[in-house]
């Protein structure tokens, strides 16, 4: 234990700068070794418990059943005494969701509040306890796809899939039986060796999206920079997806442990063990069987992702260090001069008066000039967002603080507001579990919005981050923070709190990448929220509860669709906010890590996610920034953000980066209709915008661990360059036909999945579209407002040379700032596009729901591009509402490239592209377009 702690401490502290001389891989290896030693030291091999026996069982009024578990015998007191009697509650809540809930049968225990995450409550214990029946045999409980089975003594349970009897969760095995103590819960499951697991975040996983055995997975919201590997970061998502290839069939399921307490999850490759420091065991099993079905079932439970305004899909520029309004104005103007698309300009805390929330620095950002600037932005369809930290400065002259004290809204310690330090100095933290705080917070946002009509809010430091630890007081006789020292160094007078079992729990999770007390650099875990709720229990919910309060406030104030960006997240956060991955570095490693983190958050139900393009600090190279904007242009949330102390890295700072930005963002802005349709699909079904390849190709085992490429939706694949000095990229292509989005006459055709070497000079990002898709596009522009007014085109992809095939796609358009994102409100239209090739005839048509919105706005399709054909003959006939419309032959382009350098690669093909131009097909009307293929002898 001591040796592991010493190694970890030296690596992270004493040797921080000297270690720069070693390779990053060497450092990662040492840190992983240290973490493994810590886990082994903390998790003693001594048997912790002897388990429980099931002593009674009966049906519950809601269609489930309740049982009682009695501890088998008095166990040792490792981590405290066992709770003698537990209640087991099991219910099939839907066809695809099973709940298994275990808690103390005699005392109420902490659970994630039901008002924060709405769900059914288990039956009341006293009601069920009146008539217990003793179970006599082990049995199964099933009426859906998931089967719950159990044994009596010791009590163990398993969850199986009905369709193939595959065991998805099995708590029996060569590990501790169920352990349930006040501050230590443990349960394990067996796993097959070939299962691919994803999730258990938030952390930066150097090995990629697929969980790696024996790496540490600690879940506890912590302000640790995202470049720290294998540590608990800003959010807590105790859910994993399990993908298995059984025989010739791939099936996925997910397991959520709904628990907000800190936990270590130990994954060995053949087992997974939860070691939790409080709360209850509240498991939810989601049957899938496809990855998309899993996320659909998961977000049906935790909450569908928030509706997003159209402009949020544009490019965003931010920086900590825009020292005055003139710099912001200059930044916007420079983007325009460089002809780089930009929709949103952001301010960090630079607008604040001495870092105080809801205040304005009237010298650097005079209100009159700022309002004039915002009017100009808004007239161009652009938006403005600012940052808010949760800590409220303790300052008797500060009106926000005064109103907070008057309304008694702050987290307490022994009856007094808990004192911490963040950017403004001494602060109190609002208690968002308190209904009065939610109202007060909404009022403060309203007052601020009247001062500055911002278009969204950025919630930072909401883990909650604290520059100090323990119980602190404001020092007498010295200024805190001082003018000379860094603001992030603790200057309060503080002492450790070691006299409570909450501040020093018996079991230590691997908090902060080390075995730190859970209150390290955050709120003391013995502090209390509304109704006496301990910070120990509610800690990881802080950012979640703040996002809920902020979402309500913005919706009430603006009457529009709120846009909120939050750093700290929990299960269900995607219902209220988007997320960025925090403080990364401008390194090639961080560029690569960003893909896995973004893909994980899609699984977590937070599809609007991105990483700081070019890195938050210290400074990217020109080449790296080129490659990062090429990748970042296809993040769901695309934003450049930099540190106060970093040199300027706006995309126009280098001409080479500007060129790459115009290229990559140019395609993004053409794809905005498709991206916006994907946000609609995410909102109604949870479907991630950015997806791992296995979502569309679950049978392809090569895709299971692929973390260097990703899909946008089901059909667009992004293959970035992730290494320096490279002008080619080896990209994996699943079998089928893939068309280059920058030159659609080029294709890659494969009978089996394989890696293909692609040209990727400095300004090129490889983006390909798969066969059988229909992608709606527009002409692009420098803002989404301009791009949205341009005509539509459809890209239809058939397999190369196919004689019989079909393709499909869709389009959703609406009044994008309304709170609702749905059909049936009179302000939206949904179109399904279809295409077939059959018996020598090509047919493209549409089906329209709620046509009036699109018709009223005059939206129309001017061009249809069809890929994969062998040829055409005869005339083109266009039919709209059963009326023939003539098409001029000059409006038809047939392109077969003759000078395509195949580089000797048999997978690369020349592809015919049939382009029909000059159309004016109303998006809101059904249409049919058809023609006959040429005969080939």
Write out the H or E segment, with its range, that includes residue 100: strand 97-104
* Sequence-distant (≥ 6) Cβ neighbours of residue 500 within 8 angstroms: 526
The reply to whether 463 belongs to the active site is yes
Q: Whole-angstrom Cα distance, residue 895 to residue 872?
A: 11
Token pair of 592 as six digits = 């690569």
Element (H, E) at 928: strand 927-932
Residue 786 · residue 813 · CB < 8 Å? no
Q: Which residues make Cβ contacts (< 8 Å) with residue 136, sequence separation at least 6?
A: none
- Number of residues that this document lists for the chain: 937
Rounded distance between C-alpha atoms, residue 775 and residue 794, angstroms: 6
The encoded tokens of residue 296 equal 């659909």
Burial 371-393 (b: 16+ CB within 10 A, else e): eebbeebeeebbbbbbbbbbbbb
- Torsion sign (Cα): 508, 514, 519, 522: negative
Question: Residue 888: which region, alpha, beta or left (left: phi > 0; alpha: psi -120 to 50)?
Answer: beta
- Block residue for tokens 């392109």: 895
Q: Is 62 in contact with 120 (CB distance < 8 Å)?
A: yes
Q: Please spell the DSSP secondary structure of 433-480, one letter per residue.
A: TSHHHHHHHHHHHHHHHHHS--SEEEE-STTT--SS-SEEEPPSSS-S
- Check if the beta carbon of residue 666 is closer than 8 Å to that of residue 629: no
Residue 218 in 3-state DSSP?
Answer: strand
Q: Give the contacts of 923 (CB within 8 A, at least 6 positions apart).
A: 792, 811, 813, 829, 831, 848, 854, 855, 859, 860, 861
CA distance to 186, 269, 804, per residue, from 47 (Å): 12, 21, 63
> Which listed residue (182, 186, 463, 503) is catalytic?
463
**Alpha-carbon span 226 to 639, nearest angstrom:** 16
- Please answer whether residues 503 and 519 qualify as being in contact, where contact means their C-beta atoms are separated by less than 8 angstroms: yes
**How many angstroms separate the CA atoms of 682 and 817, rounded?**
17
Q: Of 186, 242, 431, 583, which is the active-site residue?
A: 583
Cβ–Cβ under 8 Å, residues 729 and 758:
yes
Residue 534 — φ and ψ, nearest 5°? Answer: -75, 140
CA quadruple 768, 776, 692, 206: dihedral positive or negative? Answer: positive
Task: List the catalytic residue out of 460, 590, 630, 650.
Answer: 460
Q: Which two tokens stand for residue 214?
A: 């024996």
Burial of 498 (0-12, 13-18, 19+ CB in 10 A): exposed
Contacts of 645 (CB under 8 A, 6+ apart): 321, 617, 618
| CA dist., res. 328 & res. 317, Å (int) | 10
Residue 746 sits at the vertex; the CA angle it makes with 743 and 747, to the nearest 5 degrees, is: 130
**Contact status, residue 534 vs residue 528, Cβ threshold 8 Å:** yes
597 vs 576: CA distance, rounded Å? 19
Q: Are strands 383-388 and 344-347 parallel, antiparallel or unpaired?
A: parallel
Catalytic positions, written as ranges: 460, 463, 583
């Amino acid at each position: 234990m001591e040796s592991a702690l010493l190694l970890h401490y030296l690596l992270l502290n004493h040797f921080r700068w000297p270690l720069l001389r070693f390779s990053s891989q060497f450092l990662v290896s040492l840190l992983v070794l240290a973490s493994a030693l810590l886990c082994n030291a903390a998790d003693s091999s001594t048997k912790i418990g002897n388990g429980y026996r099931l002593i009674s069982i009966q049906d519950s009024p809601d269609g489930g059943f309740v049982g009682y578990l009695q501890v088998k015998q008095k166990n040792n007191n490792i981590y405290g005494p066992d709770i003698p009697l537990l209640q087991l509650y099991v219910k099939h809540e839907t066809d695809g969701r099973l709940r298994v809930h275990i808690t103390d049968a005699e005392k109420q225990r902490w659970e994630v509040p039901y008002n924060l995450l709405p769900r059914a409550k288990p039956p009341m214990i006293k009601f069920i306890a009146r008539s217990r029946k003793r179970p006599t045999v082990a049995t199964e409980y099933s009426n859906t796809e998931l089967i719950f089975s159990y044994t009596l003594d010791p009590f163990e349970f398993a969850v199986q899939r009905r369709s193939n009897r595959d065991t998805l969760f099995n708590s029996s095995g060569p590990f501790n039986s169920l352990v349930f103590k006040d501050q230590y819960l443990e349960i394990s499951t067996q796993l097959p060796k070939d299962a691919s697991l994803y999730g258990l975040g938030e952390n930066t996983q150097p090995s990629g999206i697929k969980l790696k055995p024996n790496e540490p997975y600690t879940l506890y919201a912590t302000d640790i920079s995202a470049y720290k590997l294998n540590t608990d970061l800003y959010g807590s998502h105790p859910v994993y997806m399990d993908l298995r290839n059984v025989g010739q069939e791939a099936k996925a399921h997910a397991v959520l442990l709904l628990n907000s307490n800190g936990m270590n999850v130990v994954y060995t490759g053949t087992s997974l063990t939860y070691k939790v420091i409080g709360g209850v065991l509240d498991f939810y099993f989601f049957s899938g069987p496809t990855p998309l079905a899993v996320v659909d079932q998961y977000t049906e439970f935790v909450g569908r992702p928030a509706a997003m305004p159209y402009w949020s899909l544009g490019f965003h520029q931010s920086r900590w260090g825009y020292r005055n309004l003139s710099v912001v104005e200059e930044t916007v103007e420079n983007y325009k001069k460089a002809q780089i698309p930009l929709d949103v300009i952001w301010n960090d805390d630079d607008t604040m008066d001495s870092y105080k929330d809801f205040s304005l620095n009237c010298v650097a950002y005079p209100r009159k000039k700022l309002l004039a600037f915002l009017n100009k932005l808004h007239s161009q369809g652009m938006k403005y967002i600012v940052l808010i930290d949760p800590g409220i400065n303790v300052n008797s002259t500060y009106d926000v603080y005064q109103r907070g004290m008057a309304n008694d809204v702050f987290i307490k310690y022994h009856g007094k507001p808990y004192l911490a330090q963040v950017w403004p100095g001494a602060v109190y933290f609002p208690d968002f579990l308190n209904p009065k705080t939610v109202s007060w917070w909404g009022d403060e946002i309203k007052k601020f919005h009247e001062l500055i009509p911002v278009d969204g809010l950025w919630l930072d430091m909401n883990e909650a981050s604290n520059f100090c630890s323990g119980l602190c007081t404001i020092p007498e006789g010295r200024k805190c923070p001082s003018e000379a020292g860094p603001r992030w160094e603790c200057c309060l007078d503080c002492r450790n709190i070691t006299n409570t079992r909450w501040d020093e729990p018996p079991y230590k999770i691997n908090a902060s990448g080390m075995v730190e007390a859970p209150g390290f650099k955050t709120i003391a875990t013995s502090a209390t929220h509304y109704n006496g709720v301990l910070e120990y229990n509610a800690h990881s919910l802080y950012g979640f509860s703040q996002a809920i309060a902020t979402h309500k406030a913005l919706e009430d104030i603006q009457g529009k669709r709120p846009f909120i960006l939050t750093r700290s997240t929990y299960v269900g956060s995607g219902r209220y906010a988007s997320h960025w991955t925090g403080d990364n570095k401008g390194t090639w490693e961080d560029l690569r890590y960003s893909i896995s983190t973004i893909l994980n958050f899609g699984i977590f139900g937070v599809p609007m996610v991105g990483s700081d393009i070019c890195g938050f600090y210290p400074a990217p190279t020109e080449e790296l920034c080129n490659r990062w904007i090429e990748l970042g242009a296809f993040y769901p949330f695309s934003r450049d953000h930099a540190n106060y102390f970093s040199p300027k890295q706006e995309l126009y700072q280098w001409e080479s980066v500007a060129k790459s930005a115009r290229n990559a963002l140019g395609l993004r802005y053409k794809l905005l209709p498709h991206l916006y349709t994907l946000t609609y699909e995410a909102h109604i079904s949870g479907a991630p915008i950015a997806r791992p390849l296995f979502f569309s190709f679950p049978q392809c085992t090569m895709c299971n661990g692929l973390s260097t490429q990703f899909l946008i939706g089901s059909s667009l694949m992004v293959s970035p360059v992730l290494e320096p000095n490279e002008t080619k990229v080896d990209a994996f292509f699943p079998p089928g036909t893939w068309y280059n989005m920058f030159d659609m006459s080029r294709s890659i055709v494969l009978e089996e999945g394989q890696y293909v070497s692609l040209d990727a000079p400095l300004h090129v990002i490889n983006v390909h579209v798969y066969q059988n898709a229909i992608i709606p596009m527009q002409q692009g522009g420098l803002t989404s407002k301009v791009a949205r007014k341009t005509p539509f085109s459809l890209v239809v992809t058939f397999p190369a040379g196919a004689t019989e095939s079909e393709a499909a796609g869709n389009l959703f358009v609406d009044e994008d700032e309304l709170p609702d994102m749905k059909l049936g409100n009179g302000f939206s239209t949904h179109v399904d596009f279809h295409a077939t090739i059959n018996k020598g005839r090509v047919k493209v048509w549409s089906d329209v729901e709620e046509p009036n919105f699109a018709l009223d706005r005059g939206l129309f399709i001017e061009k249809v591009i069809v890929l994969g054909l062998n040829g055409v003959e005869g005339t083109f006939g266009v039919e709209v509402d059963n009326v023939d419309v003539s098409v001029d032959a000059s409006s038809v382009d047939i392109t077969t490239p003759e000078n395509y350098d195949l580089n000797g690669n048999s997978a690369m093909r020349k592809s015919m592209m049939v382009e029909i131009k000059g159309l004016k097909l109303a998006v809101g009307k059904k249409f049919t377009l058809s023609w006959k293929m040429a005969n080939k002898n």
